[in-house]
Amino acid sequence: MQSPVIAFKAQNGWIFYFSIASYQFPDIEDSADKYDKNWLNVRVDIKDRSGAEFSAEDPSILTWELMELLNWFETISEGKKPEYSILGFIEPTIYFELLDKNADNEVKIRIHLCCELKPEQLKPNNDDEFIIDVNLSPKEIEDAIVDLKRIIKLYLQR
């Protein structure tokens, strides 16, 4: 079964897609290390206004970190500030940053891509990382939450 894809439209017209491709080790034994059993291959796709595209896949997030991302978005959707404005993971390839929230409950989020997920060919805007700023309406946040819940059902902690 294919994982849902979460799409965010950036302020500059680019589109950022986030999905989970698979467990890093789908056929691992039950007795294996809890980390090895729960690494997920993150897939990112970026399309810019000119039609240039970038895709990458890397084992960058653990099943329980995906839950943390869901909780982070749920807290924002409830009109609250999350405990941490920056949500990162053990692997430093992707992290999310809450920048601002306006009176209409729209939020500005910055997505940071580093290391294996950094798109070199799309003219990175920083030497160490690639940054994408997105404004999300309450509906777009809710859509992301629904998709994250669907992804989590596909990739349960093992």
In angstroms, the Cα distances linking 26 to 13, 59, 73, 145 are 36, 12, 27, 25
- Reading the chain (158 residues) residue by residue, the pLDDT tens digits are 678 999 999 988 999 999 999 999 989 888 888 999 999 999 999 998 888 889 999 999 999 999 999 999 999 999 899 999 999 999 999 999 999 988 788 999 999 999 888 887 665 566 778 899 999 999 999 999 999 999 999 999 99
In angstroms, the Cα distances linking 111 to 6, 38, 127 are 13, 23, 15
pLDDT of residue 50: 86
By C-alpha distance, which of 104, 125, 102 is closest to 113?
Answer: 125
E-state strands within 25-128: 39-47, 53-62, 86-87, 94-101, 107-114
**Interatomic CA distance for residues 65 and 68, integer angstroms:** 5
Q: Position 152: which residue type?
A: I
pLDDT of residue 18: 97
Tokens of 106: 């729209």
pLDDT of residue 1: 60
Tokens of 4: 């849902």
In angstroms, the Cα distances linking 112 to 57, 85, 121, 122, 134 are 15, 13, 16, 14, 11
By C-alpha distance, which of 61, 80, 81, 84 is closest to 6?
Answer: 61
pLDDT of residue 124: 55
pLDDT of residue 11: 84
**Interatomic CA distance for residues 57 and 44, integer angstroms:** 6
pLDDT of residue 3: 85
